Amino acid sequence: MEASSLTQQFFQQLINGISLGSIYALIALGYTMVYGIIRLINFAHGDIYMLGAYAGYFATTFFKMSFFPALIFSMVVASTVGMLIERLAYRPLRGAPKIAILITAIGVSLLLEYGGMILVTPQPRTFPELFSTATYNFMGLVVNSQQIVILVVSLVLMFILTYVVNHTKVGKAMRAVSFDTDAARLMGINVDRIISFTFAIGSSLAAAAGILVGIYYNSIDPLMGIMPGLKAFVAAVLGGIGVIPGAMVGGVLLGVIEALVSGFLSSTFRDAAAFIILIVILLFRPAGLFGKNIREKV
Amino acid sequence: MKRDLMGIVGAVALYALLMGLIESEVIGAFWQLNIVLICINIILAVSLNLITGFTGQFSIGHAGFMAVGAYLSAVFTVKLGLPYIVGILAGAAGAAILGFAIGLPTLRLKGDYLAIATLGLGEIIRITILNIPYVGGASGLMGIPRYTTFTWAFFLMVITVLFIKNFINSSHGRACISIRENEIAAEAMGVDTTKYKVIAFTIGATFAGVAGGLFSHYFYIAHPASFTFMKSFDILTMVVLGGMGSITGSITTAILLTYISAELASYPEWRMVIYALLLIVLMIYRPQGLFGNKELSLKLFSRIMGGGQRGAAENK
C-alpha cells in the first residue's frame, strides 16, 4: 500500500474511532461517576445501555416518536430503572464487603440480560432509521450523518454533565460525597439522595449511548450491553476511574485504538485490544491517565 | 489420613452405586451426561473456591484456564495421537503454566481491579484461541473422541477434592486463609503473601485445566463460545452460593445448579434469571453463602445415622 492511501486509511479509522469512542465515553461516564461515589463497579451499567436502546426502539416504533423525544424518553426510562436498581439491590448492601456488592452487580446484570431476553425475545431487532443517511466526502474521507449526530449529541451531553457537576448545587454535593462521604453527611448532604441522583445521571447517559448505537449499527439485542459495558469500564480505568474528564478522554482514546487495530491488524483482535490496554494500565499506572495516586490506608 | 481413607471408601461406594445404576440403565443417557457435567462442575467450583473462597482473590477468569485445558488436551489426543491421560496432564500443565505466568503480575492487584483484570485475561485467552487456525479458530476444534467416561470424571473429581482439601489443611493452606482474613496482618506475621497467592492461583488453574480436558473429550468439540466469561460467572455463582471457603458447599451447589439447569434445559433464559435472583437475594440476606465457611461433616452424618464417629469431623 502506498503511503498516501495509508495515511488516508489512518484518518478514516480515526473518524470511525472517534464516533465509536464518544459512545464508549458516554457509558464510561456512568461507570466512573458511580465508582467515584460508592466505589462500586456497576456491572449492570452495560445492560442499562441495552435497556436504553430498547426504550428508544419502542419509543420510535411503537409511539412513533422522532429522534429527540425518543432520546429524552429512553433517558428518563433508564434513569428510573437505574435509581430503582440502586434502591433495591445496592442500598441494602451499603457497608457490606466489596465482593458481596460486586456479586450483586453481576446478578443484576444477568437479571437484566436474561429478563430482557424473556421480555423482548433474544432475536436482534432492526433499529428504525431516524435520519436519512447522507455521506459526505471530505478530502477523500467518508463521514456519514450518523457519525455527526453521535458526535454532536455526545458532546452536548458531556457539556451538560460537566456544567451540572461543576456549577450546580447538586453537582457540588456529588463532588463532596465522592470526596468524603462521611464528612459530606455531616455537612447536611442527603447522601442517599445524591447516590440515587448519580445513578440516574449515569444511566441516562448510558441510555443515550444505547440509542446512538442503535442508529449507528441498526441492530439491537438483549446481550448487546456486555461488550460495550466492559469496554467502557476499560475506558474509565484508562482515563482514571472516578475522574469525569478522564472517562471522556479514555472513551475516545479506546474507540480510536480499537478502530486502528481493526483497520490495520485484524477485526477479531479488536476485543482483545481493549483488555490488553486494561491489563497494561492496571499493572503500570492503576490510577489511569488523569487519576492521582492515592496511597491505600492501612 | 484416616479421614482421607474414609472419604475414598465413601467415594468408591458412591461410584459403585452410580455405576450400577448406569449399567442397569436406571440412569438414562440424559442424566448420565448430567452426572459427568456435575463432576466437571465440582472440579471447577472447588478449584475456584481455593482461589476466591480460601485465598480471597476474586477471579472471574476461570473459564480461560478451562479453555486452555480443553484445547491443549485435545491437541495432544487428536493432533498428536497421544493417549488420553497424556492429554489431560498436558492440559493441566498448560493451564498451570499460564496460571503462574498470569498470576505473578496480576495478583498484585486487589479486589475489584483483580476481578476485572482476570475477566480481561480470560477473554484475551479466548480471543487468542479464536485466532489460531491450527485449533479450528472460530468454528472450534472438532472430531475429539469421547474418551471421558463417568469413571474418568468421577475419579478426577475425587482426586481434585482430596488434593484441595489436604492443601487447605496444610500449613500452605493456612497461609492462604490468613491472606483472605487479613492480608496486612498475614504479611506482618511473615507470610509471603505473593508466593501463596500465586500458588493458590496456579493450583486452581491446573484443576480448571483438568476440567477443560474432561469437558472437550466428553462433548466431542472444543469451541471458543463455551469459554466466555459467562462460564466464569457460572462457576463463580456455584462458589458464592455454596459459601466462599466451603468445599462441601461448592460441591452441593455444583450438584444443585447443574441439576436445575438440566431441568430447565429447554428454558435457558429462565435458568439465568433464577441464577441472577438467587445471587442478589443471597447477597442481601446471606452474603456468606449457604454454608458460609463451614463444611458439611461426617459428624453431622453420624449424628443423623446414630453412628459412633462423633469426633471424626471431616474438616476442622
Chain segment B283-306, per-residue pLDDT in tens: 888 888 888 777 877 666 665 555
Residues of chain A with Cβ-Cβ distance to B272 below 8 Å are 110, 113-114
Burial B203-228 (b: 16+ CB within 10 A, else e): bbbbbbbbbbbbbbbbbebbbbebbb
The vertex-A179 CA angle with A175 and A181, nearest 5°, equals 100
For residue B261, tell me if it sits in a domain: no
pLDDT of residue B313 exceeding 60 = no
Task: Pick the more confident residue, A3 or A31.
Answer: A31
Instruction: Answer whether B233 sits within 8 Å of A108, measured CB to CB.
Output: no
Q: Which of these, A172, A176, A168, A236, lies nearest to A202 by C-alpha position?
A: A236
Complex-level ipTM: 0.81
DSSP strands (E only) in chain A:
125-126, 135-138, 141-144, 219-220
Shortest CB distance from B130 goes to which of A101, A122, A268? A268
Q: Which of these, B72, B74, B79, lies nearest to B99 by C-alpha position?
A: B72
For residue B129, tell me if it sits in a domain: yes
CB B245 within 8 A of CB B53: yes
> Where does B2-137 have alpha helices with state H?
2-23, 29-48, 62-74, 84-106, 111-130
CB A233 within 8 A of CB A102: no
Query: Among A105-114, A166-175, B148-157, B294-303, whose mean pLDDT is lowest?
Result: B294-303
Model pLDDT, residue A255: 93
Q: Give the pLDDT band (50/70/90) at residue A253.
A: very high
Domain that holds residue B169: 2-228
Most confident range, picked from A36-40, A59-63, B158-162: B158-162
Shortest CB distance from A104 goes to which of B106, B184, B280? B280
Model pLDDT, residue A21: 92
- In this structure, what C-alpha cell is assigned to residue A35? 465508582
Kind plus residue range of the DSSP H or E element containing B18: helix B2-23
For residue B205, tell me if it sits in a domain: yes
Task: Pick the more confident residue, B216 or B308.
Answer: B216
DSSP strands (E only) in B219-304:
none
> What type of residue is B114?
L
For residue B174, tell me if it sits in a domain: yes
Q: Tell me what the pLDDT averaged over chain A comes to.
A: 87
The whole-number average pLDDT for the span B86-115 is 90
Residues of chain B with Cβ-Cβ distance to A101 below 8 Å are 283
Model pLDDT, residue A137: 80
Q: Which one of B59, B124, B131, B184 makes the best mutation probe of the A interface by having the most chain A beta carbons within 10 Å?
A: B124
Model pLDDT, residue A205: 95
Q: Tell me what the pLDDT averaged over chain B comes to.
A: 87
Domain count, chain B: 1
- Per the DSSP assignment, residues forming a β-bridge with B15 are none
pLDDT tens-digit readout, A152-191: 999 999 999 999 999 999 999 999 998 888 899 999 999 9
Considering the entire predicted model, what is its pTM? 0.86
Model pLDDT, residue A298: 44
For residue B26, tell me if it sits in a domain: yes
Model pLDDT, residue B315: 42
> What type of residue is A61?
T
For residue B221, tell me if it sits in a domain: yes
Kind plus residue range of the DSSP H or E element containing A176: helix A169-179
For residue B274, tell me if it sits in a domain: no
pLDDT tens-digit readout, B223-254: 998 998 889 988 998 898 888 889 999 999 99
pLDDT tens-digit readout, B6-18: 888 888 888 888 8
Model pLDDT, residue B274: 87
For residue B295, tell me if it sits in a domain: no
pLDDT of residue A297 exceeding 50 = no
The whole-number average pLDDT for the span B28-47 is 92
Min Cα–Cα distance to chain B from A45, Å: 14
Task: Pick the more confident residue, B297 or B41.
Answer: B41
Residue A274: closest CA among chain B residues belongs to which residue?
B120
A93 inside 8 A of chain B by CB: yes
